[in-house]
């Protein structure tokens, strides 16, 4: 029998899309002789306009501004960001990303590739990804970390805009450190995915997110398990969502949280950030 894969990082092969937008934004952060992070490469592309913000201290701060509505079905989008040895790069976004259906019913892809060198720190803190009804997005986030690299990564997925059903959203997060895989997780939600809205996976929750902190100090002092929101047995009544902060099998802590909506999800992740010394 040929079972359709539900958890691959790629949509089923389709002929090369001609209708969709193909765009890759590129950022390279490099520490200069004074320890100040410079940006020798800062190339926006397609829907990703890159704005330098702040400018105080040695860290480089970039905000990704959505220059158009994307990803639409058929789009092939990517962001490549590298913090070279000793650099500090902080990336945020101006607004949520909304995955929308295209004209052809084709899936969209969105690939984020982050590389962090020794002694470097990368913060990847985008706004939520919203899966609009009828959309079909395959997302990958691939992180390569040097042994003494630091990472703070937040990922939030919201299943459907207010009052609508969710689209289909496949996502894979792979984090490699010093050549070993530290975390490999696939999520698949929405129409055509078996079991995603059951009590083992999301139940009735429509916002799900993660906060990952990798830092060498966790080798000596791993994060302690911390239950969050309803899981911590707070006052019952209106659900605050629930989550857990837990050490991975390596110098990292991962927060996993589910909540009824994006606002309550963010509250859980912000609470958790205080326990991780992620500042």
Partner 1 sequence: MSRAALLVLADGRFPAGGHAHSGGAEPAVTAGRIKDAATLERFCRGRLHTAGLVAAGLAAAAAAGADPLLLDDAADARTPVPALRQVARRLGRQMMRAARATWPSDALDALAAARPRGAHQPIVLGLAARSAGLTPLDAAYAVAYENISGPATAAVRLLSLDPFDATAVLAHLAADLDRVAAQGAEAAARVATEGVDALPAASAPLLDITAEQHAAWPVRLFAS
Chain residues that interact with partner 1, rule: CB under 8 A: 1-3, 5-7, 172, 174, 180-188, 193-203, 205, 208, 225, 227, 231, 242-244, 246-249, 254, 256-258
CA distances from 45 to 21, 24, 49, 63, 114 (A): 10, 6, 7, 14, 17
CB of 184 to partner 1, least distance (A): 4
CB of 241 to partner 1, least distance (A): 10
Of 2 and 162, the one with the shorter C-beta distance to partner 1 is 2
Q: Cα separation of 160 and 262, whole Å?
A: 11
Q: Closest Cα partner for 213 from 255, 180, 176, 173?
A: 255
CB of 172 to partner 1, least distance (A): 7
Of 97 and 210, the one with the shorter C-beta distance to partner 1 is 210
Residue 43 exposure: Cα atoms within 13 Å on the Cβ side = 13
CB of 48 to partner 1, least distance (A): 27
Would you state the structure tokens that stand for residue 259, as one six-digit string?
């909540």
CB of 278 to partner 1, least distance (A): 17
Of 135 and 171, the one with the shorter C-beta distance to partner 1 is 171
CA distances from 169 to 98, 136, 166, 195, 240 (A): 11, 6, 8, 14, 24
CB of 173 to partner 1, least distance (A): 9
Would you state the structure tokens that stand for residue 6, as one six-digit string?
């539900």
Instruction: Annotate 148-176 with b (16+ C-beta within 10 A) or e (fewer).
Output: bbbbbbbbbbbbbbeeeebbbbbbbbbbe
CA distances from 185 to 69, 256, 263 (A): 27, 11, 24
Of 118 and 203, the one with the shorter C-beta distance to partner 1 is 203
Of 37 and 140, the one with the shorter C-beta distance to partner 1 is 140
CB of 98 to partner 1, least distance (A): 22
Of 130 and 272, the one with the shorter C-beta distance to partner 1 is 272
Of 18 and 199, the one with the shorter C-beta distance to partner 1 is 199
CB of 183 to partner 1, least distance (A): 6
User: Is the CB of residue 148 less than 8 Å from the CB of residue 114?
Assistant: no
* Cβ count near 197 (within 10 Å): 15
Of 100 and 182, the one with the shorter C-beta distance to partner 1 is 182
Q: Is the peptide bond before 71 cis (omega within 30 degrees of 0)?
A: yes
Q: Cα separation of 159 and 205, whole Å?
A: 9
Which segments within 167-215 are labelled E, that is strand?
168-177, 180-189, 207-214
């Amino acid at each position: 029998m040929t079972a359709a894969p539900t958890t691959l990082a790629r949509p089923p092969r389709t002929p090369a899309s001609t209708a969709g937008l193909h765009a890759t934004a590129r950022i390279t952060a490099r520490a200069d002789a004074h320890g100040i992070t410079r940006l020798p490469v800062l190339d926006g592309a397609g829907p990703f306009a890159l704005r330098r913000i702040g400018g105080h201290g040695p860290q480089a701060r970039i905000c990704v501004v959505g220059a158009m509505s994307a990803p639409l079905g058929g789009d092939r989008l990517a962001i490549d960001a590298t913090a070279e040895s000793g650099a500090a790069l902080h990336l945020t976004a101006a607004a949520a990303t909304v995955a929308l259906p295209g004209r052809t019913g084709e899936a969209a892809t969105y690939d984020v590739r982050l590389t962090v060198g020794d002694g470097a720190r990368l913060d990847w803190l985008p706004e939520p990804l919203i899966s609009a009804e009828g959309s079909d997005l395959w997302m990958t986030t691939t992180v390569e970390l040097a042994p003494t690299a630091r990472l703070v990564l937040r990922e939030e997925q919201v299943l459907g805009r207010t009052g609508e059903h969710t689209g289909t959203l496949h996502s894979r997060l792979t984090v490699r450190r010093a050549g070993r895989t530290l975390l490999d997780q696939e999520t698949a939600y929405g129409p055509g995915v078996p079991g995603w809205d059951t009590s083992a996976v999301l139940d009735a929750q429509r916002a799900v997110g993660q906060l990952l902190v990798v830092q060498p100090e966790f080798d000596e002092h791993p994060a302690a398990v911390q239950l969050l929101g309803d899981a911590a047995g707070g006052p019952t009544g209106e659900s605050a969502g629930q989550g857990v902060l837990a050490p991975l099998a390596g110098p990292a802590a991962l927060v996993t949280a589910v909540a009824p909506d994006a606002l309550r999800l963010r509250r859980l992740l912000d609470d958790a950030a205080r326990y991780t010394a992620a500042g």
